[in-house]
């Protein structure tokens, strides 16, 4: 990624995201490795990580269920979707199920306003949600994983 930019540092955010997608989260080892490759201090890298909401230094479940509750989703019952997920998975915001499969997260606008209420599971969009539809989606992720 570095050749795309006049400064090495510019590759930092894409590199972090790439590493996170591979490893699952930004571990101490990953941070140290990226810092050394891009000639930055670990502190500089951590400063950047803490700014961006997609980046995490804590392990997450295999599927990160990100339910948008921002205004367009809110007026169409997003809170019911979120609470339904919390009940079904038995976890709260940024918590992971004991089997390590799902993490639940209440997130800000994901750009699916005209197809609200919406959620993202990892990078996949799920739109025009109802609690029943959300059930089917979560069951499907689980079923695929069990196979």
Residues 44 and 146: their CA atoms lie apart, in Å, by 40
Return the residue of 27, 57, 62, 127 that touches another protein, per CB under 8 A: 127
**Segment near another protein (CB under 8 A); pick from 57-65, 69-77, 131-139:** 69-77
| Residue 74 and residue 116 in contact, taking contact as beta carbons nearer than 8 Å | no
Residues 140 and 95: their CA atoms lie apart, in Å, by 20
Q: Rounded to the nearest whole angstrom, what is the least distance from the CB of residue 25 to another protein in the complex? A: 13
Residues 133 and 137: their CA atoms lie apart, in Å, by 6
Q: Using the rule CB under 8 A, is 86 a contact of another protein?
A: yes
**Segment near another protein (CB under 8 A); pick from 14-22, 57-65, 137-145:** 14-22
- Residue 10 or 27 having the CB closest to another protein: 10
């Amino acid at each position: 990624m570095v050749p795309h930019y006049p400064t090495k540092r510019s590759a930092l955010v894409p590199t972090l995201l790439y590493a996170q997608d591979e490893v699952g989260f930004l571990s101490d080892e990953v941070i140290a490795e990226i810092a050394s490759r891009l000639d930055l201090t670990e502190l500089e890298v951590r400063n950047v990580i803490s700014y961006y909401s997609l980046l995490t230094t804590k392990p997450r479940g295999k599927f990160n269920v990100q339910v948008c509750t921002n205004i367009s989703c809110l007026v169409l019952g997003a809170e019911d979707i979120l609470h339904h997920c919390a009940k079904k998975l038995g976890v709260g915001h940024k918590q992971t199920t004991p089997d390590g499969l799902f993490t639940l997260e209440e997130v800000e606008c994901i750009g699916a306003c005209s197809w609200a209420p919406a959620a993202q599971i990892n990078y996949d969009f799920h739109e025009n949600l109802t609690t029943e539809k959300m059930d089917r989606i979560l069951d499907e992720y689980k079923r695929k994983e069990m196979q």
